[in-house]
Amino acid sequence: MEKHIPVTMTVNGERISRDVAVRQNLVDFLRYELGLTGSHVGCEHGVCGACTLKVDGSTVRGCLMLAAQADGAEIWTIEGLSQNGELEHLHEAFERHMALQCGFCTPGMLLTANELIERGKAKNREEVREYLSGNYCRCTGYQAIVDAVMDAAKAAGKR
Amino acid sequence: MAEALALLNGDDSGDVAALAGGQSLMPMLNLRLATPDALVDLNGIEGLAGLEDEGEHIRIGALTRHVDIETSKIAAKHLPLFVRAVGEIAHAAIRHRGTLGGSLALADPAAEFPACCVACGAVIVTQSLTGERRIAAEDFFHGIFHTELEHGELITAVEIPKHGGRAEHWGFDEIARRKGDYATAGLVVFGTGKRALDDPRIVLFGVGEKPLRVNAAEAVIAGCRLPVSDEVIAEAQEAMGGLELIEDLHSSTATKAHLAKVLLGRVLKTLS
C-alpha cells in the first residue's frame, strides 16, 4: 500500500498539488505542509471545533478528514477568509465586543459563525447559541461571542 | 464499488476498514481505539448518495450526508421523522460529512437513525461479493457496534416507508446533556391508521445495547384512539419494565428506565 498519495486541491484560492502522507489529517496537512497555522487542533476527535475549516462550501472538522480525501476539494481557512474580506463584519464585531481572549477558539468560531449568518440561522440568541455549541471557548464565557455574532448578522442584513 | 468490495474482501483485508463520512471512524483512529492497516475511501463511488422517491418508500443512498437529509424537500414531505431526528446529530460540521450508511453500519447504541429505521420498518440494502441482501431494520442491529453486516459487506441504500401523510403517526424525543451530545435516552413511536394507532412500534435508543422495542407498551397503545388519553399513557408507562438496559458514564440503569418512561409520556402526548 502507498504511504503517500498525490492530491490536488484549491486552498484559499490557490491550486496546490502535493504528495500527502495517507495517514495525515487535513488540518495537520494545512498547518505543517502549507504553514497555515490559523486553524487549531484541540481535541482531535471532532467535538471542540477549533479545527473547523470550510470545505466545498461547508464547515468541516479538519481533524476528521484525511488530507488524501481533499483531492479536488476547495478549501478556505481563516487566513483566506480574512484576506478576501468575507469575515469583515465578524472581525469588526468580535473586536468591538471583546469576543476573544486567548484566541484559540476564534478561527473555528468565526468560520462557524460566518456559515450561521450566511445560512440565515442567526435570527435570535437561542439560534446562535445552538449553532455555535460545537465550538468550545475556555476564556470568554460565550456572552460576548453571541453579542458579536448577533451584531454581525444585523450588519450583514441577515437578521 | 467492485474495487471497494475487492479491497474489503482480499486476503489481507482483515485490517482494512471502510471510510465513509469518517465522523466516527476518524475519532477512533485519532484516539488509537482502532488501528486498521488501510482504509478504503468510499466517497468516490458514484450512485451511492441521494434520495429517490420509489412510490411506497424513499430510497436513500448509503453515502447520503446527514445535511442532505436535513435539507431535502423529499425528506421534508415524506420522511419527517428522519428530518426531526437528524437535527439531534452532533453539530453542523459533523452533519456535513457524516452519512446515513455510516450511522447504521456503526450501530452506536446512542444513535438516532438506527432506532428510526427500526420504528418505521425500513429495509437496509447491502452489497457483497456474493450479491445483494435486503435486511429488515429490526433484524439488522445485534448489539453495541454489532450488526448483521458480514466482513466485507457494505450498505448501499436504505428504503424507508413514506410517513408524511395523515395515515402515519410518528413521535420522537431525546434527552441529552447538551445539544448535539449522544443521547442519554431517546424514544421513537411509529404507527399507522387514521384516528387510531394501529400496529404501533415503540423504540428506545441510548439505553440498551441496540434499539429496543417495547412490545408490552406497544400492546397497550395498539388500536387506541388519538389523541392518546392520559389513562392509556399511564398504562403504557407501567408496561416499560423488564428491558435489557445498560448503564453508561452518566446514567445508571435506574435512571435510563425512568427517562424511558418520561419520554414515552412526552412522545405519546404529541400524537394527534
Q: Alpha-carbon distance B143 to B123, whole Å?
A: 18
Report the gap between the CA of A44 and the closest CA in chain B (Å).
6
Which residues partner with A20 through β-bridges? A5
Cis preceding linkage at B227, omega within 30: yes
Tell me if the pTM is above 0.90. Answer: yes
Determine the pLDDT at residue A1. Answer: 55
Which residues partner with B225 through β-bridges? B196
What is the tens place of the pLDDT at every residue in A64-91? 999 999 999 999 999 999 999 999 999 9
Determine the pLDDT at residue A2. Answer: 62
Q: Is A57 left (phi over 0), alpha (psi -120 to 50) or beta?
A: left
Beta-carbon separation of A69 and B178 below 8 A = no
Beta-carbon separation of A46 and B31 below 8 A = no
The pLDDT confidence band at residue A6, using thresholds 50, 70 and 90, is: very high
Read off the pLDDT of each residue in A87-109 and give the average, rounded to a whole number: 97
- Spell out the residues 6+ positions from residue A32 whose beta carbon is closer than 8 angstroms to its own: A24
Asked if the C-beta of A130 comes within 8 angstroms of chain B's C-beta atoms, the answer is yes
Q: Which pairs count as long-range contacts for A116-123, CB under 8 Å and 24+ apart, including other chains?
A: A116/A149, A116/A153, A117/A89, A117/A90, A117/A149, A117/A152, A117/A153, A117/A156, A117/A158, A118/A158, A120/A158, A122/A149, A122/A150, A122/A153, A122/A158, A122/A159, A123/A159
Contacts of A69 in chain B (CB under 8 A): 19, 22, 41, 43
Radius of gyration of chain B (CA): 19
Residue from the list B41, B97, B178 with its beta carbon closest to the beta carbon of A64: B97
The set of cell numbers assigned to B92 is: 453542523
Residue from the list A45, A59, A66 with its beta carbon closest to the beta carbon of B93: A59
Q: ipTM beyond 0.90? A: yes
What is the tens place of the pLDDT at every residue in A25-37? 999 999 999 999 9
Give me the residues of chain B with pLDDT under 70, please: none
Determine the pLDDT at residue B179. Answer: 86
Strand duo B196-205 + B185-192: pairing: antiparallel
Beta-carbon separation of A46 and B67 below 8 A = no
Contacts of A1 in chain B (CB under 8 A): 37-38
pLDDT at position A158 over 80 = no
Nearest-Cα residue of chain B relative to residue A65 = B22
